[in-house]
Structure 1
Amino acid sequence: MSLLERDPGRPRITWYAQDGERVELSGAVLANWVSKTTNLLVEELDVAPGTRVRLDLPPHWRTLVWALAVWRCGACVVLGAHEAADVVVTDRPAEVRGPAVVGVALAPLARAFGADLPADAVDGTAVLAYADTVGWTPGTERDALALVAGGTRLSHGDLLAPGATTDAPGDRVALAADDRLAVLLQALAAWRADGSVVLVDAPTAAELRRDPGRRTAVLGPERVTVDLLVEAPTGSTTGADPAPRRD
């Protein structure tokens, strides 16, 4: 988190969605969101090292925030509907079962999840009421499991290892929100290199692939230096999920 806050006013995530939605989080704002979310996970759900948190969310800027918060707790992010989990974070809580469920509203200005939130689920918008700084988290072991996604198993130490996604420190990397595992790993690589991410939802990314002029018009003003809006992997929109989910 210290890296994201080193230049607190610089964008670290910029999100584009098909309906014209654009959300930008500076380093300071991203760190603030992660701190609030970490506090909710610790105080409401006792998330700690060894806890497995399944992110049943589409590739989205909020998914990145929740992943960073899980790792800030020293816990493990799980992708895949058939992976065992202690907590499930989802945008469809009425359809998901788990020991503990958190409903996350994806709308940019959502202040409550709404009527579809089961009575026994935690409303993820409650993060807004939590402290802006992390009060306490247990220590994190570098060898502890941090990410489980199909055949991928990464430790917390692995998450900090140098990557080769960006060409130079400070790159502004454009990513298509096609595959959750790829988005998580590519965003981490960009941030490790003191860079930032322009994350484009799957329908918009498909349109930009078909229309080079619009692609230039969108990515040019964002000062993108590494364009990874490649074609989506055949037959996959969710990375490690054994079965497709609604993305």
Structure 2
Amino acid sequence: MNANDRTPADLLRSALAADPGRPLVTFYDDATGERVELSVATFANWVAKTANLLQGDLGAEPGDRLALLLPAHWQTAVWLLACAEVGVAVEIGGDPADADLVVTGPDTLEEARACSGERVALALRPLGGRFPQPPAGFADYAVEVPGQGDRFAPFAPVDPAGPGLSVAGTGLSYEELVGRAREDAAKQGLEPGARVLTGLGFDSWEGLSAGLYAPLAAGGSVVLCRHLDRLSAEGLAQRTESERVTHTV
């Protein structure tokens, strides 16, 4: 990747320039049987649309705080990169009452109602499906995002030294986040083309790093597994082989 990359959005742009067609995020939900694979180009398109929604329709600005109440999921990864594009600071599991915006899954809708700002809900259904009945007081992500633009340009430049991510009591600027991701990638021996399988949640730095940031910083990809404990040892071995996994976290 480009040594001058200072934000996660920079890392994604470098990945897009290097090989847009290669897989970046492969997601499994072993409770539903869902499998989704996103190339760098497809993932970047989702990020651009989400960033346009965030900046345009939701009025988010650099330095705003977004409480992210989502599990480890491919759409969560999209939101993390979209926030980096706009300059919005993400608080994983943050208090909605103290946040400027909240993004929630179906299991935390009541908690999310404490946010007095914009509220977005994700159904987390297969293929990015919408809620059968839209939750009152929330924008349905699956309804709002398809019509957004495929290219994103920020209204204001993003400060790499500005607040980027808060998780489990640790706050990181965007450039600190990128630095830690690169360190983790080096410790794990990740190189371009590495394929990391992880079942860790996104409620810790270790889970976020393994499930997104370290593979992205290394020029690799991730096989992100939700409810991995429901998979048998034989099933895990088959997945490791079929997905050409090089590292397991």
The TM tier, using the shorter chain, reads 0.7 to 0.9
Distance apart, 1:122 and its partner CA: 1.7
> 193-202 vs 89-98, which deviates more?
89-98
Q: Distance in 2 between matches of 1:172 and 1:32?
A: 21
Distance apart, 1:116 and its partner CA: 4.1
Q: 1:44 aligns with which of 33, 48, 57?
A: 57
TM score, norm. by length of structure 2: 0.83
Does residue 212 of structure 2 align to residue 201 of structure 1? no
Q: Distance in 2 between matches of 1:89 and 1:33?
A: 16
- Give the match for residue 191 of structure 2: 169
Greater than 6 Å deviation, 4+ residue runs: none
Distance apart, 1:221 and its partner CA: 1.0
Alignment length (residue pairs) = 223
Secondary structure, counterpart of 1:109 in structure 2 = helix
Q: CA RMSD in A?
A: 1.8
In structure 2, the gaps of 5 or more residues are 1-11
Q: Distance in 2 between matches of 1:138 and 1:114?
A: 36
The change in CA–CA distance for 1:25 and 1:212 in structure 2 (over 3 A counts) is: same
Q: 2:168 aligns with which of 141, 146, 150?
A: 150
> 160-169 vs 64-73, which deviates more?
160-169
Q: Distance in 2 between matches of 1:150 and 1:58?
A: 14
Aligned-pair identity (%):
35
- Give the match for residue 4 of structure 2: none
Does residue 22 of structure 2 align to residue 10 of structure 1? yes
- Give the match for residue 233 of structure 1: none
Secondary structure, counterpart of 2:38 in structure 1 = strand
Q: Distance in 1 between matches of 2:45 and 2:131?
A: 20
- Give the match for residue 112 of structure 1: 130
Q: Distance in 2 between matches of 1:178 and 1:79?
A: 11
Contact 2:64–2:100 under 8 Å retained in 1 = yes
Contact 1:94–1:116 under 8 Å retained in 2 = no
Higher helix share: 2
